[in-house]
Amino acid sequence: MKKRILVTGATSGIGRATALRLAAPDTEIIITGRRADRLAALKAEVEARGAECLVLNFDVRSERECIENIEPLGRVDVLINNAGLAAGLEHIDCGDSADWDAMIDTNVKGLLYVTKIISHAMVVAGKGGHIINIGSIAGTEPYENGAVYCASKHAVHAISQAMRADLLSAGIKVGEVRPGMVETEFSEVRFHGDKERAAGVYRGVEALQGEDIAEAIHWMLSLPAHMNVNDIVLMPTCQAGAYYTYRK
């Protein structure tokens, strides 16, 4: 039986790289996101690696859409909770509540909606499973201008630890990957499409790439049944924390 792996937010960056890294003849990769054209193109790439591929085009902020798309799947062996964003970078007194809603609704509530459906199916099936949440160094290091993004990733960190305990007796592994700077569309999204400002984030540094995070996820999934990686923090060599980046 093929291993069924669902990756949220597979249209770009870390999610896209992960879907491709995990694609193999013994897997079925379920790719999700809002941009249907990107999903269609990725499906062809995943299938070229010998995997089966199913596309689910929905918005994780809608619990109804999550239920309609995910519940009919039945068994899923691996869930990569990756869909997420930062929106805006300003002091709390100047923050935009639409940005706050987008981050909380996606990074926290969307992750919860997807996780509830899949973990419930895993518990009922009684065959274990593996869930990996993409957190961030922002999940333990709150930084200036990032109150709500950091709060959302603190929530992911707390949820990851609590759900590991909740799902322990069902033999479901729960891990978290907490990256530092990864060069994806993340900054372009954060700055509402301002490509030049986004490029500035990665100027003078060799940031991580989505493929680097995918490699860590592949390793976590490859370990024997009795081994679980709870938490992994990955940064580029030029970064030592949210406040410490060496630029050339």
Residues 134/87, Cβ–Cβ less than 8 Å: no
| Gap between the Cα atoms of 84 and 130, Å rounded | 19
Instruction: For the CB of residue 170, give the shortest distance to ligand NDP in the complex, in Å.
Output: 25
242 binds, among ligand 8X3, ligand NDP, none (CB under 5 to 8 A by kind): ligand 8X3
Specify burial of residue 215 (Cβ count, 10 A radius: 0-12, 13-18, 19+). middle
**Is 113 annotated as catalytic?**
no
Regarding 136 and contact with ligand NDP (CB under 6 A), the answer is: yes
Which is nearer to ligand 8X3, 167 or 213 (by Cβ)? 213
Instruction: For the CB of residue 141, give the shortest distance to ligand NDP in the complex, in Å.
Output: 11
Instruction: For the CB of residue 82, give the shortest distance to ligand NDP in the complex, in Å.
Output: 5
List 4, 5, 6, 15, residue binding ligand NDP (CB under 6 A): 15
Q: Which of 233, 88, 234 is nearest to 147 (CA)?
A: 88
The alpha carbon torsion through 49, 51, 55, 60 (nearest 10 deg) reads -100
Residues 76/30, Cβ–Cβ less than 8 Å: yes
Specify burial of residue 226 (Cβ count, 10 A radius: 0-12, 13-18, 19+). exposed
Q: Which of 149, 202, 243, 244 is catalytic?
A: 149
CB atoms closer than 10 angstroms to residue 45? 15
Regarding 197 and contact with ligand NDP (CB under 6 A), the answer is: no
Q: Which of residues 112-141 bind ligand 8X3 (CB under 6 A)?
A: 136-138
Terminus-to-terminus CA distance in the chain, angstroms?
A: 50
Regarding 174 and contact with ligand NDP (CB under 6 A), the answer is: no
83 binds, among ligand NDP, ligand 8X3, none (CB under 5 to 8 A by kind): ligand NDP
| Gap between the Cα atoms of 210 and 104, Å rounded | 23
List 29, 134, 148, 235, residue binding ligand NDP (CB under 6 A): 134
Return residues touching ligand 8X3 (CB under 6 A). 136-138, 181, 242
Contact positions toward ligand NDP, by CB under 6 A? 8-15, 33-35, 59-61, 82-85, 106, 110, 134, 136, 179, 181-182, 184-186, 189, 210
